[in-house]
Structure 1
Amino acid sequence: MSTGHGADSAPAPTGTTTENKKAGTFSSLKIRNYRLFASGQLVSNTGTWMQRIAQDWLVLSLTGSSTAVGITTALQFLPMLLFGLYGGVIADRYNKRKLLLITQAAMGLTGLALAALTLGGVVQVWHVYLMAFLLGMVTVVDNPTRQVFVSEMVGKDQMRNAVSLNAANFQSARLIGPAVAGVLITAVGSGWAFLLNGLSFVAPLAGLLLMRTSELHPVERAPRGKGQLREGLRYVAGRPDLIWPIVLVGFIGTFGFNFPIWLTAFVDDVFEGGAGTYGMLNTLMAVGSLIGALLAARRGVSRMRLTVFAALGFGLLEIAAALSPSLWVFAALMVPLGIFGLSFNVTANANVQTAVDETMRGRVMSLFVMVFVGGTPIGGPLVGWVTDTFGARIGFLSCGVISAGAAITVALILARVGNLRLRVDLRRGHQHVVFVPRERLTTAA
């Protein structure tokens, strides 16, 4: 008979535990602390989506310029590109629950400040720019801290499920928030959307305060010291199983996820539609993303090959969408695009988190988020220029080719690093295409 201590101290192989294989779609919600966290995040995520829509509409109404809307978005993402790695150092060093109490309160205050300015009738575009930048600065710490706090709430066995449910949570809010914002903006103006967003952060703050700290899984913190940022970069650089998935995330985040650019261009220039068509396409993609997140949560087990396969499928679907002969074919492809895009993001996130040491998780995840989100200020203008110069189809097609090409390249590099070769087996009941160790092929020969 084995002792409980021995079972706890011996780390299980990643993604192979019996508990993971039998995990249900919502298994991590059985954990009280995570249930409180997820409930609060659903409320605040809905508020955040409301503010995104209201913020863009406000800037457009103040300036009449789409460029000004782009500047607002860039200012919100720029801090992650410039300072994202420092947020990971802070997340590794300090108590994550206390950090989240600070960051979530600060994010709520930015919404309330913008509400006061707008409802008071004194808001100017530079106010929106400033609030967007401040929100981005808070996100530098908030995002990696939220990512790594998941493991403290649910433990390693349930982390993949919880990461998937976080994504489902975000996509559910993406379906609700813009619809509510549209009603509010039309009925009473943008200021009330900002006010509700600011108040929505009461929910995650209450959830954090109500948590039972005794039920959190203990995680070793990184001690204070010099050179911790460089230490994190060296750690990733020395791990091919981390660096190449993060490189793939960077390529797809920078080039593959510029949907606002393509969707507006296709609706306006290719299909000659209006706001209703644009809203329909966004809704279909959000539905696909939600399905992808729930499928990932149900799966429980994911491997690196699934991440690469999802990236390849995502790129190929973008190519197919770029060549769509009609609006209805294009619209139909939005659902699988959402499924594959979200599956790629969730599996990459979970694989990286489970592969790193606890004291490095914040720094590694800050790098993950930085390359995924921080590429937007670089990729957005470049993709926009290609789309404006050569047309919507060429812009979408080129990014699909880049995404698929990056997936194939990373797959070949990981296979070479792992001393693997591609095997094709067309027999019924066998995996048709699979990477196997070179030695196995030699032995079989």
Structure 2
Amino acid sequence: MAESPLFSHEGQIVVAPSLTTLRYRDLRLLSLATLVTGAAFLGERVALGWLLLDRTDSALVVGLGVALSALPNFLLGIPGGAITDRFDRRLLLRITSFILAAATAGLGAIALAGMLSVAGILLFTFLSGAVRSLSQTVRQAYAFDVVGPHQAVGGMAIVSLAQRSGGIAGALATGEILVQLGAGYAYVAIALCHLAAFVFVLLARTRGQAAPGQQPQLAESVKEYVREVRGNSTLRALVFLTAAVEILGFSHQAVLPSLARDVLHLDAAGLGLLTALGSLGGFVSVLLVTLRPEPVHKGWFFMGVLLGFGLALVMLGASSSLVVALIGVGVVSALAALSDLLSQTLIQSSVPNELRGRAMGSWMLAIGFGPVGHLQIGAVAVSLGTATALITNGLFLILLAVVVLVWTPQLRKL
């Protein structure tokens, strides 16, 4: 028999290389924390989209809400990366998890008191997005720390699987809670997820085998990274590409509430189902990567993923039935998940080890351009319809992938 990720030539069961990273106790704890954090994140995304659409009946306002959640990535990406390299990453994860738990519980109390407004939702979305921006930077850097550079894709894939698994449950549960109990109880459930994440990261013991030894002062840390960016063309290309994909590809999330309600005629529970199936698509794609050896030609793999991402957006925009839309959302999310995984890994691998936190800050800065895409796709959806908005962005993403493939040989060599 041909050798596979699960069987040797002799037919014996073997462990997929990526799964061996689970031998690290702190990666298991980080994965558990990410599992419940993923549930909280997608749960909050479902609540945000549905509440804003229900109260304003505007896809543009929904786009504004999603944009505000991503704006802190742009504003705080580089400073967040410097903070990540300056302080113990376990401590930062504990602090951010606790803040998110307290803030979300407060929002739930406001909603239960009947005082929740659109302005309040938008303000909370921006502030929680700021904390989440730092948390995401720290989480990915710490995963790399624990498993080391030679198993980076595998270790980060395990964390990504945990996030997407939690996202499935969080989206489904939040949609149902919104229908049955209301926004207040939905936000309380999200707060409990953040609290559980705090407990898990509290148990982490080590800084990780690849944790940087020196911890520079923040000002010097930023200056050092600016020098690296100026002299590293591969890093600049990856950051630019990540930003462009965020604008053209990930912006589809802003029109999912409109797609669910206005095109597919679903309620909040239906939006939760649509979001959960998207997370399931991401889970399956990352699982397949986890079960394979580390990809050798990561640059070519990345370009292929982006081409497929664009084609899937076109498919989703052209869908007119619930079944096709569900498949489209699953495929789009599957390729989006691979895009995230590969861009995070490639950016961290393109810099010296002591700069990886700041490199992840660059990744956060790049995805911070997402608000441009959220507002753009929301405006096109209002003017020309949701389908046209998705198809347009998909075609431009295909064009981007082709141009990058032809004009950036340094990425093809990765």
Deviation of the 1:92 alpha carbon: 1.3
What is the CA deviation profile of residues 269-310 of structure 1, one whole-angstrom value per residue up to 9, with x for unaligned ones?
6x5543476555444432221111111222241311111111
Deviation digits for residues 61-88 of structure 1, max 9, x if unmatched?
A: 5556555444433322222222221111
Counterpart in the other structure of 2:11: none
State the match for 2:407 in structure 1: 413
Question: Superposed, which structure 2 residues align to 1:37-48 within 5 Å?
Answer: 37-48=30-41
Query: 1:124 aligned to 2:117?
Result: yes
Tell whether 2:307 aligns with 1:312.
yes
Deviation by residue 1:311-357 (Cα, 9 ceiling, x = unmatched): 11211232344445765445434333332222222122112222321
Q: C-alpha displacement at 1:124, in angstroms?
A: 3.4
- Which residue in the other structure is 1:15 paired with? none
Q: Are residue 274 (structure 1) and residue 273 (structure 2) matched?
A: no
* Residues 35-44 or 197-206, more deviating: 197-206
| Structure 1 residues 289 and 140: alpha-carbon distance in aligned structure 2, compared to 1, 3 A threshold | closer
Unaligned 5+ residue runs, structure 1? 1-20, 421-434, 437-445
CA distance in 2, matches of 1:237, 1:82: 20
CA contact (8 A) 2:59 2:382 kept: no
Q: 1:34-84 CA distances to partner (integer Å, 9 max, x unpaired)?
A: 111111221232133323333444445555655544443332222222222
* Local SS of the residue matching 1:91: helix
Match of 1:180 in 2: 173
**Aligned 8 A contact 1:104 1:201 in 2:** yes
Please give the residue correspondences for 1:122-161 in structure 2 after superposition, counting only pairs within 5 Å.
Answer: 122-161=115-154
Contact 2:246–2:366 at 8 Å: present in 1 too? yes
Q: Deviations over 1:368-392 (max 9, x none)?
A: 12212x1221111112222333333
Distance 1:44 1:390, change over 3 A: closer
TM-score by length of 2: 0.85
Helix, strand or coil at the partner of 2:291: helix
Would you say the 8 A contact 2:77–2:363 is kept in 1? no
* Mapped partners of 2:218, 2:76: distance in 1: 18
- Cα distance in 2, alignment partners of residues 187 and 277 from structure 1: 13
- The C-alpha deviation readout for 1:219-251, integer Å capped at 9, x for no partner, is 223411635334323413422322222222111
Q: Does 1:344 align with 2:339?
A: yes
SS at match of 2:213: coil
Contact 2:86 2:215 in 1 (8 A): yes
State which of 396, 403, 409 in structure 2 corresponds to 1:402: 396
**Is 2:373 aligned against 1:389?**
no
Q: Which residue of 213, 224, 230 maps to 1:220?
A: 213
1:53 to 2:38 alignment: no
Relative to structure 1, is the Cα distance of residues 116 and 312 closer, same or farther in structure 2, using a 3 angstrom cutoff?
A: same
Normalised TM-score (structure 1): 0.80
Judging changes above 3 Å, is the alpha-carbon distance between structure 1 residues 363 and 189 closer, same or farther for their aligned structure 2 residues? same
Q: Give identity over the alignment, percent.
A: 25
- After superposition, the Cα gap between the structure-2 partners of 1:143 and 1:28, relative to the gap in structure 1 and judged at 3 Å, is same
Give the residue type in structure 2 aligned to 1:413.
W
Structure 1 410/214 Cα, relative in aligned 2: closer, same or farther at 3 Å?
Answer: closer
What SS does the corresponding residue of 1:158 show, helix, strand or coil? Answer: helix
Number of residue-to-residue matches in the alignment: 398
Q: Is the Cα–Cα contact under 8 Å of residues 236 and 364 in structure 1 kept in the other structure?
A: no
1:78 is matched with 71
Aligned partners of 1:304 and 1:348 also within 8 Å: no
| 1:252 partnered with 2:245 | yes
Q: 1:65 to 1:256 in 2, by over 3 A?
A: closer
Moved more, 332-341 or 308-317: 332-341
Provide the alpha-carbon RMSD of the alignment: 2.9
Contact 1:220–1:358 under 8 Å retained in 2? no
Moved more, 98-107 or 134-143: 134-143
Task: State the alpha-carbon separation in 1 of the partners of residues 266 and 222 from structure 2.
Answer: 47
C-alpha separation between the residues in 1 aligned to 2:292 and 2:315? 27
Letter in 2 for 1:114: L
Tell me how far apart the structure 2 counterparts of residues 67 and 387 of structure 1 sit (CA, whole Å).
Answer: 8
1:335 aligns with 2:327: no
1:182: how far off?
2.4
Are the aligned partners of 2:71 and 2:129 in contact in 1 as well (CA < 8 Å)?
yes
CA distance in 2, matches of 1:355, 1:386: 36
How many angstroms apart in 1 are the aligned matches of 2:118 and 2:310? 37
Contact 2:145 2:207 in 1 (8 A): no
CA contact (8 A) 1:185 1:193 kept: yes
Q: Is the 8 A contact 2:73 2:133 kept in 1?
A: yes
In structure 1, distance between residues paired with 2:260 and 2:119: 30
The yes-or-no answer on 1:169 pairing with 2:162 is yes
Q: Tell me the CA shift for residue 112 of structure 1.
A: 1.4
2: distance between equivalents of 1:274 and 1:45?
Answer: 23
Between stretches 302-311 and 255-264, larger displacement belongs to 255-264
* Over 6 Å off, 4+ runs: none
Which structure has the greater CA radius of gyration?
1
1:91 and 2:91 correspond: no
Cα distance between partner residues in 1 of 2:111 and 2:388: 40
Q: Distance in 2 between matches of 1:128 and 1:168?
A: 29
Taking the aligned partners of 2:388 and 2:65, their CA distance within structure 1 comes to: 26
What per-residue deviation string (whole Å, max 9, x for no partner) do you get for residues 372-413 of structure 1?
Answer: 2x1221111112222333333432222112211211222222
Q: Within 1, Cα distance between the matches of 2:255 and 2:180? A: 29
- Equivalents in 2 of 1:377, 1:162: separation in Å? 29
Change (3 A) 1:105 1:261: closer
The Cα of 1:254 is off from its aligned counterpart by 0.6
Once the two structures are overlaid, the 10-residue window that deviates more, 286-295 or 186-195, is 186-195
Stretch of structure 1 that moved more, 273-282 or 383-392: 273-282
